[in-house]
Homo-oligomer: A and B are copies of this chain.
Amino acid sequence: MVDMMLHPKTQGPLAGLVVIDLTRILAGPYCTMTLGDLGARVVKVEMPTVGDDARQIGPFVDGDDGKKVSGYFFSINRNKESIALDLKIEGDRAIFEKLLDSADVLVENFSPGTMERLGYGWEQLHARRPSLILASISGFGQTGPYRTLPAYDIVVQAMGGVLSLTGESAERPTRVGISIGDIAAGMFGAIGIQAALLERARTREGKHVDVAMLDSQVALLENALVRYQVDGTVPGPIGSRHPSITPFGVFRAGEGHIALAAGNDRLFARTLEVLGLSHLLGDTRFADNDARCSHHAELKAALEEALDTLPADEWLTILTQAGVPCGPVNDVAAVAKDPQLHHRQMLVDLPVSSTRSLIIAGSPIKFHGDALAIVEPAPRLDQHRDALLRELGLNQA
């Protein structure tokens, strides 16, 4: 009998690699989407009947088969194939293990311990296939006192300190309006997997990549930990301001708001000039960045009084011509129309049914200015079963 293997793709920097994907919801799927965009072949293994839990999360659109399709799932599962397998059933385990025989990477985001209970813990997998890289993305990691606790985005945003830095007041906690708790872990997962692949090219051996959502939030804190230690005060939420660069935030104009970042003395002087505020140039309260940070409220009042005389879009034209970094506060509708984003192919239109398509975000990783090919919309549950079984020589037809 011929030992039949999955053929990897041939286009993109990660061509040649096969990723088996057990992940659900967001952190794991974002990781495998990133690898798929780069050219890895991603085979998503989902629970029969229900599939990835994200398929049950709205907003929903009508699919061709009369079933609802989750737009949420659709956003983060392009360039993947789907097969439904129950890893507790013998026949399905045999298919899964045949898939693993072709795999370079296996990604999972179950609770720690689940893979071991399924018989697919690191030790077992490594014994079976020493070159396989296992990536585990979890709330708190595979080790430590919290390892078995469940976590979702809002929990790690809160526990990791990011939430404490966002908003206007600690009395009104504010979530980052995107699921940065999940997405950051998915991105660090992709970085860790690629590092393990680069190491494997030297050693021929796989590794177990262990990324926690909580750790990932802390890795995003940037200078907040140091500010706390140096200033001796606990950093809190400060609206649209930057904690240590001024002026750097959102300001109200005659109509609407503008984002403005005049972070050094040269840009600050130019901003004052453009706004007709040159008389403030010698003002000791605004003499350098440190002074401006100390007097941010007075500076904001002065800037907004000047900005009040024209609408935001006119100020943006004037400030841009003067070389001051600035931009509009775009809502999602404005983002969808932005000419730069269209030029960069960041808005990708994919069919969700025979009569409807949806725009999703493209990959931000360009090579020589070219966008990566995003050709396959997110799969229907089990869509690729027959093709995959045929390719593996397991076709039961």
| Segment with Cβ contacts to B, from A89-97, A272-280, A359-367, A385-393 | A359-367
For residue A231, which residues in chain B have a CB less than 8 angstroms away from its CB?
59
The reply on A375 being an interface residue by CB < 8 A is no
The reply on A66 being an interface residue by CB < 8 A is no
Whether B16 pairs with A365 at a CB distance below 8 angstroms is: no
Closest to A197 in B: B198
Closest A-B pairs by Cβ, 10 of them: A165-B177, A158-B259, A152-B261, A144-B343, A194-B194, A71-B226, A215-B364, A166-B177, A13-B199, A59-B230
A117-B141 Cα distance, complex, nearest whole Å: 46
- Beyond A57-B245, A221-B335, A367-B207, whether A155 also contacts B72 by CB under 8 A is no
A76-B221 Cα distance, complex, nearest whole Å: 10
The reply on A28 being an interface residue by CB < 8 A is no
Whether B214 pairs with A340 at a CB distance below 8 angstroms is: yes
Most B CB atoms within 10 A — which of A34, A154, A201?
Answer: A154
For residue A122, which residues in chain B have a CB less than 8 angstroms away from its CB?
368
A72-B250 Cα distance, complex, nearest whole Å: 22
**Which of B170, B178, B225, B365 has a CB less than 8 Å from the CB of A195?**
B365
The reply on A130 being an interface residue by CB < 8 A is no
Could you jot down 8 A-B contacts, CB within 8 Å? A141-B366, A155-B259, A158-B257, A166-B174, A214-B341, A218-B347, A218-B361, A225-B336
CB distance from A258 to the nearest CB of B (A): 8
A185-B188 Cα distance, complex, nearest whole Å: 13
Interface flags, A86-113, vs B, CB<8A=1, else 0 = 0000000000000000000000000000
CB distance from A65 to the nearest CB of B (A): 18
The reply on A212 being an interface residue by CB < 8 A is yes
The reply on A173 being an interface residue by CB < 8 A is yes
CB distance from A91 to the nearest CB of B (A): 28
A6-B236 Cα distance, complex, nearest whole Å: 44
CB distance from A70 to the nearest CB of B (A): 9
CB distance from A149 to the nearest CB of B (A): 7
CB distance from A109 to the nearest CB of B (A): 14
Whether A222 pairs with B366 at a CB distance below 8 angstroms is: no
For residue A207, which residues in chain B have a CB less than 8 angstroms away from its CB?
13, 367-368
**How many copies of the shown chain assemble into the complex?**
2
**Which of B14, B223, B331 has a CB less than 8 Å from the CB of A75?**
B223
Whether A173 pairs with B72 at a CB distance below 8 angstroms is: no
Closest to A25 in B: B263
CB distance from A192 to the nearest CB of B (A): 4
CB distance from A107 to the nearest CB of B (A): 14
**Which of B75, B154, B261 has a CB less than 8 Å from the CB of A222?**
B75
For residue A369, which residues in chain B have a CB less than 8 angstroms away from its CB?
141-143, 210
For residue A162, which residues in chain B have a CB less than 8 angstroms away from its CB?
176-178
- Beyond A159-B327, A192-B365, A364-B188, whether A344 also contacts B143 by CB under 8 A is yes
Whether B365 pairs with A57 at a CB distance below 8 angstroms is: no
Interface flags, A34-54, vs B, CB<8A=1, else 0 = 100011000000000000010
Closest to A367 in B: B207
CB distance from A199 to the nearest CB of B (A): 4
CB distance from A131 to the nearest CB of B (A): 15
A245-B53 Cα distance, complex, nearest whole Å: 12
